[in-house]
Chains A and B, each alone.
Chain A
């Protein structure tokens, strides 16, 4: 008989994440340039279109257009692509494959978020640099900028994972995610200053992570204001945590029993032990 393997065998969470991160990046090794190009398209069109109107509304408005477009690049590159990727993995049996290995669902989520966040950086950088030149908005990098960027990425990446993991098909995930992206761009002062928006939209924007993402980028990249940036980042961190809890608990994975059932099983083991 072949020996039973100890359940302690298996990789730690960090090694699982690292392997799965590699697998995700490897999946895109041939097609990432197209991914970058498609990710830049909508934000650059937004810069060109909104920029025309924003020039007449002053420097503040062009800053909104720039950071709003970078936020749009983040939404397209992370939220939409992660949603499609999770729906694809669910459809092609990858979820089942990973769930049948000693791999935690949190590792798959973290690895996918990490890989797509990394893959989104070229599109984000090009949108930022090209937008800055086109809109004539000088960039002044604050040390908070990298953290702001990461925190801007996380809620939309997590939301994409949630949409993708709960959607029945890749088509459903794509359309749901696109609708969410458009809603997030429109609901609040993301690419348009609040004074140019109806009060209702500005009010709704308080519940929109894209507003805080755009604000934190503006407060750390174009008009550095550490205090405002930190408060935006705190809200983004809270959004990230909420989306993480939602995704990691609601994503289909292995069947699990509650503590009560586990306790009963342990008691059964003890009883068996006594009998033998």
Chain B
């Protein structure tokens, strides 16, 4: 993504407080996403991600602030927003009684592929892209959870909207399908220049594709930046994972190893980077059945803010 690319989204001072709730769903949220960027939105349940996204696509009106998509206010240009954003919610698939073929066709047509022949061509291309061709005649509700998720992605991709907002796209997918989806999203971003906004809990997988991330906590944007920048803030700590055998007590580990969790001999701990040289001197690490060490991941960043 070129650094001087125009903005896909400009969110300024967004505030939303639902009646009857003690805390605002979103408070003072401001950020910008450039066209062609792969942006991740992380946050625990109830952090305000869905509320934010619904305002970004104009489904929910904010109590304060503005949202601009490709330079236009989403609330005063609803049609422009719907034509330019493909949104995949995390909720159940709305077209469950249609066959895969019908669901993709109607979505393509309703998204503005005016001629039925064009919509049919688009349907066939998208089914091919997602490897759903063999399921074309099957009713959506009869699909497995993972197949239905792929169908939701297919429906979202129809008519090639330049901005995609995907809420947990790899939920319920098996590992090979997950890889397929990440590769597809990478291609759509890099080859076609699509702006992709990914809402996910799966920070480890997301880290492989996103360029920048925003972390929400209690309705506020608590971190924003490239994964490497955010990880740098935790770089002073090293993560250890050690498996102890039955004869090895936890006391083998020096005091400066801060144990985070322990279950059936498997210990997860943090060590200050400065103490690392001491650790290799004080403990014979080769005595443990398993020992791994790594610097902070995006998931560690996410957990540190959660």
A residues adjacent to B (C-beta < 8 A)? 1-7, 9-11, 15-16, 19-20, 22-23, 26-27, 89, 92-94, 96-103, 254-257, 261-262, 265-266, 268-269
Per-position 1/0 for B95-129, Cβ under 8 A of A: 11110001000110111101000000000000000
Determine which residue in B35, B60, B97, B161 has the highest number of CB atoms from chain A within 10 A of its CB, and name it.
B97
Query: Can you report 11 residue pairs joining A to B where beta carbons are below 8 Å apart?
Result: A7-B83, A15-B109, A27-B97, A89-B94, A92-B96, A99-B59, A100-B57, A100-B89, A101-B111, A103-B110, A262-B76
B256 contacts the other chain (CB 8 A): no
Inter-chain contact A102/B96, CB cutoff 8 Å: no
Q: Give Cα distance in the complex from A27 to B102, angstroms.
A: 11
- Decide: A10 near B98, CB < 8 A? Known: A5-B83, A101-B82, A102-B79: no
Residues in A whose Cβ lies below 8 Å from that of B96: 92
Q: Does B91 reach chain A (CB closer than 8 Å)?
A: yes
Task: State whether B92 touches A5 (Cβ < 8 A).
Answer: no
Q: From residue A125, how far is it (CB to closest CB) to chain B in Å?
A: 25
In the complex, A3 Cα to B98 Cα: how many Å? 31
* Docked-complex contact A4 and B106, CB < 8 angstroms: no
Residues of chain B contacted by A102 (CB below 8 angstroms) = 79, 82-83, 110-112
Closest A residue, CB atoms, query B161: A5
User: Is B85 part of the binding interface, using a Cβ–Cβ cutoff of 8 Å?
Assistant: yes
Q: How far, in Å, is B74 (CB) from chain A's closest CB?
A: 9
Chain A residues positioned under 8 Å from B170 (CB to CB): none
Q: Are A100 and B87 interface neighbours, CB within 8 A?
A: yes
Lowest 3 CB-CB distances: which A-B pairs, in order? Answer: A255-B61, A2-B162, A97-B94
Q: A11 with B110: in contact, given A4-B162, A262-B76 (CB under 8 Å)?
A: yes
- Contact across chains for A97 and B79 when beta carbons are under 8 A apart: no
Q: Select from chain A the residue with minimum beta-carbon distance to B90.
A: A93
Contact, CB under 8 Å: A2 / B76: no
Q: With A and B bound together, what is the CA distance between A7 and B161 in angstroms?
A: 12
How many Å from the CB of B168 to the closest CB on chain A?
14
Do B36 and A1 have beta carbons less than 8 Å apart?
A: yes
Residue B39 at the chain A interface, CB threshold 8 Å:
no
B160 interface contact, C-beta 8 A: yes
Chain B min CB distance to A180 (Å):
27
Q: How far is the CA of A16 from the CA of B111 in the complex (A)?
A: 10
Candidates A7, A15, A27, A92; contact of B77 at CB < 8 Å: A7
CB distance from A215 to the nearest CB of B (A): 37
Please measure, in the bound complex, the distance between the C-alpha atom of A149 and the C-alpha atom of B112, giving whole angstroms: 34
Which of B59, B98, B106 is within 8 Å of A254, CB to CB?
B59
A-side contacts of B75, CB under 8 Å:
255-257, 261
User: Which residues of B are found within 8 Å of A23, using beta-carbon distances?
Assistant: 95, 98, 102, 106
- Report whether A16 and B110 are in contact in the complex, using a CB–CB cutoff of 8 Å: yes
Q: How far is the CA of A9 from the CA of B59 in the complex (A)?
A: 20
